[in-house]
Structure 1
Amino acid sequence: MKQGQLVAEIDPTQYAAQVGQDKALITDLEAQLAGWQAKLALARWTYERNSRLAPQGGATGQALEQSKSDLKVAETTVASLGAQIDKARNALKVDQANLGYTQIRAPIAGLVISPTSAVYGNAWSKVDIAHQGQTLNANQNAPLLMRIANLDRMVVRAQVSEADVARLKIGMPVNFTTLGRPDRHMEARLDAIESTPELVNGAIFYDAAFEVANPDHSLLPQMTAQVFFVLAEAKMPLAALASIQRQSGARIPGCPSAPPSEDSDCVRVLVDGQPVARPVTVGVKNEGNAQILGGIEAGDQVIVGLAGAPAGNGSGKGNAGGKGGGNGGR
């Protein structure tokens, strides 16, 4: 559907008739005004003539007063008709606007989505849209005729818990996937954090919203998305599996019992067949990987567990990875 395209029309008979009456009234008033302007010109000429003749006795005092009165009547009538015409023209503008409202046109270019649509507010709810043959009464409520969506750009809204919303910043990177395409990550930047809280099963959430380009229209209204907010990231770092670091306070042989700081730790690498403790500087990390800023190099064999360790801790060795990832042992 194109912008400005006619999508519905209300019976215009009453409004069209009112516009016609307004135009006829303006025509009549303009005709009266033209007649009285002619009378005004004659009354002014007569009064000026009698004013010259009266001192010489060429016109009586009564004739002079009558011509003066006729001039005053003509002037006031012309002014009154001018005001009536202005009033009628304003009324015509209002009635033409009301007539225009009988034609409902698309405010934007887009697609007409389902005649019964869900609206995202404090909760998802059904909204019944008018159907063919239904009588609408705009005096009681604003009827919803249809919903037009521009799918070229979509707004994604994510519910964020009150514990996490303080960590969000406008402009931070965001990526998300949909249920139908979990392998496709789409990227954007956070546009808004709404301040109105929403209570869901006793928990407080806030809406975080962002726009994303949708040129192929693969994203559709009401889709479910899993959103990831990027708090920190490292491009092509030296990284290794988090299992090479301390887990639950376990002590790594040859390393201190506790890391000196949050951004440092200790791992063991295999050098000439022997394990050697190496202090490392740790950068960005998550549940699966840790960025290694220094202490080991790409290609070093990192010991990720001990032989005979309980299942789940992992055992063997792996290569510290370059350019974004490391290969863990099995």
Structure 2
Amino acid sequence: MKKKILLISAAVLVVAGIAAVVYWKRTPEITYKTARIERGTIVSTVSATGNLSAVKTVQVGTQVSGTIQKLYVDYNSRVKKGQAIAEIDPSLFNASVEQSQGNYLSAQANQQKAKVTLADAERTLARNKKLLAEGIISQGDFDVAETAYQAAQAGLRAAEGSVAQTRGSLMQSRTNLRFSVIRSPVDGVVISRAVDVGQTVAASFQTPTLFTIAQDLTKMQIEVSVDEADISRIKLDQKATFTVDAYPEQTFQGRVVQIRSAPVVTQNVVTYVVVVNVDNTDLKLLPGMTANVSIQVAVKEDVLKLPPVALRFKPKTKEAAQPEVKRQGAPASEQAKGMRRGKGQQVYILKDNKPVAVPIKTGISNNTGIELAEGALKEGDEVVVEQQGGGDGKKKQGGGGSPMGRPF
């Protein structure tokens, strides 16, 4: 009895082993996932990032040195042209005006004195001229009077020069006093303030920036960096859309207004600055925000659209057929040449449940579709996008040693 049980157990084990070998060596069933070719619109875009800024910003500095005594505006303050926005301590400037005023008055007095001296010398010269004609005085006395007259003329001109010089100094002192009150050069909004009360500012060769005023925040721009490979596709007046992190669910509109020719090289990467103008009537956008911009470089309507994954599909088995689907009226040899001209672009369709290569030529593309420009496909055809099952059976057999993974 025991012998019989042992024989039955051995037979069961043998059958189980044979079944396991057959199971592991069986060829898995191959299936293909397909996608339909549709007709629609394709919008090709170039993506780039940049920062928002006001179209016109003015950096306000100071033309005189001194200590900030008063501040009349702060961040986000709206200002008018000519409005006082800060004041530098005017004490030294007032003293300079007083000194220049005194020098000017003194020069005017000297000028008046020189005029009196000249008039006296002129009268003396006229009188000595008559006396010389009558023989009362000598020629020497007349020469002395003439020399005094010429000296008086020179003295008057020197006094006039002194008056002009001191008048200029007075004007400069008054101008410096006027510059001690810093005024807004434009209408706008203060977006930056770099000083506080009590801070000393120095006007030198490079004027310090105290305030930055945006002239009109309802009109803004984005300076985006476009890669050199895409810059040839950017044209003026192209439409652009962008998003900002502050409003991730809202898409804003813009338009390309400038393409700058100067290259920007960063770590051996060459980019070009493209300026996109933006309407900010609702004032949602603020200077400095990072914008993710998509510039529309091409739009085609009513074209055949291929799913991008179809071009990346390659059969895993060797049974895939060579190109058999011909273009209208084209022999197979010509079709093969067409594949070579198209740099090997092809997709696969199912024929007798086997993938068959179809040469194609593509046009513009985006993330969701690629234009089918040439090829023997039409709307509604199914192209292969994925293979399930199949592959190298030996790999499957070798990789199935343990359900827990490879043994140590």
1:130 is the counterpart of 2:198: no
Using a 3 Å threshold, how does the CA distance of structure 1 residues 206 and 268 change in structure 2: closer, same or farther? closer
2:255 corresponds, among 165, 188, 201, to 188
User: What does the per-residue CA deviation read over 1:67-112, in whole Å, with 9 as the maximum and x for residues that have no partner?
Assistant: 2132022111101111112221222233233222211112332222
- Matched residue, 1:10: 88
User: What does the per-residue CA deviation read over 1:217-242, in whole Å, with 9 as the maximum and x for residues that have no partner?
Assistant: 22211211112244x3135x222332
Q: Superposition pairs for residues 93-132 of structure 1, below 5 Å? A: 93-113=171-191, 115=193, 129-132=194-197
Unaligned runs of 5+ in 1: 116-128, 270-276, 312-330
1:215 is the counterpart of 2:281: yes
* Offset, 1:290: 3.4
- Matched residue, 1:38: 116
* Offset, 1:246: 5.5
* Offset, 1:8: 0.3
Aligned length: 282
Unaligned runs of 5+ in 2: 1-78, 315-321, 327-334, 350-356, 389-408
- Match for 2:281: what amino acid? P
**What is the rounded CA distance, in whole Å, between the counterparts of 1:99 and 1:210 in structure 2?**
41
- Match for 2:184: what amino acid? A
Relative contact order (alpha carbons < 8 A, sep ≥ 6): 1 or 2 greater?
Answer: 2
**What is the rounded CA distance, in whole Å, between the counterparts of 1:289 and 1:252 in structure 2?**
23
- Match for 2:325: what amino acid? G
Q: Is the 8 A contact 1:240 1:291 kept in 2?
A: yes
**What is the rounded CA distance, in whole Å, between the counterparts of 1:207 and 1:100 in structure 2?**
44
**What is the rounded CA distance, in whole Å, between the counterparts of 1:304 and 1:107 in structure 2?**
66
SS in 2 for 1:8: strand
* Offset, 1:7: 0.6
Give the percent of matched residue pairs that are identical in Structure 1 and Structure 2.
22
SS in 1 for 2:197: coil
SS in 1 for 2:311: coil
Q: Is the 8 A contact 2:129 2:142 kept in 1?
A: yes
**What is the rounded CA distance, in whole Å, between the counterparts of 1:98 and 1:262 in structure 2?**
73
- Match for 2:224: what amino acid? A
Indicate the larger mover: 220-229 or 166-175. 166-175
* Offset, 1:149: 2.4
Pick the structure with more strand per residue.
Answer: 2
Of the two, which has the highest radius of gyration?
2
Q: Superposition pairs for residues 1-330 of structure 1, below 5 Å? A: 1-113=79-191, 115=193, 129-138=194-203, 143-150=208-215, 151-161=217-227, 164=229, 167=232, 171=236, 173=238, 175=240, 176-179=242-245, 180-189=247-256, 190-192=258-260, 194-199=262-267, 204=269, 206=271, 208-213=273-278, 214-230=280-296, 232-235=297-300, 237-243=301-307, 247-248=311-312, 254-255=325-326, 256=335, 259=339, 261-262=341-342, 282-291=362-371, 301-305=379-383, 310=387
Q: Is the 8 A contact 2:263 2:270 kept in 1?
A: no
**What is the rounded CA distance, in whole Å, between the counterparts of 2:213 and 2:177 in structure 1?**
23
SS in 2 for 1:37: helix
TM-score normalised to structure 1 length: 0.68
* Offset, 1:16: 2.0
* Offset, 1:181: 4.2
**What is the rounded CA distance, in whole Å, between the counterparts of 1:239 and 1:264 in structure 2?**
22
Q: Is the 8 A contact 2:344 2:359 kept in 1?
A: yes
- Match for 1:153: what amino acid? K
Q: Is the 8 A contact 2:310 2:383 kept in 1?
A: no
**What is the rounded CA distance, in whole Å, between the counterparts of 1:94 and 1:263 in structure 2?**
75
TM-score normalised to structure 2 length: 0.57
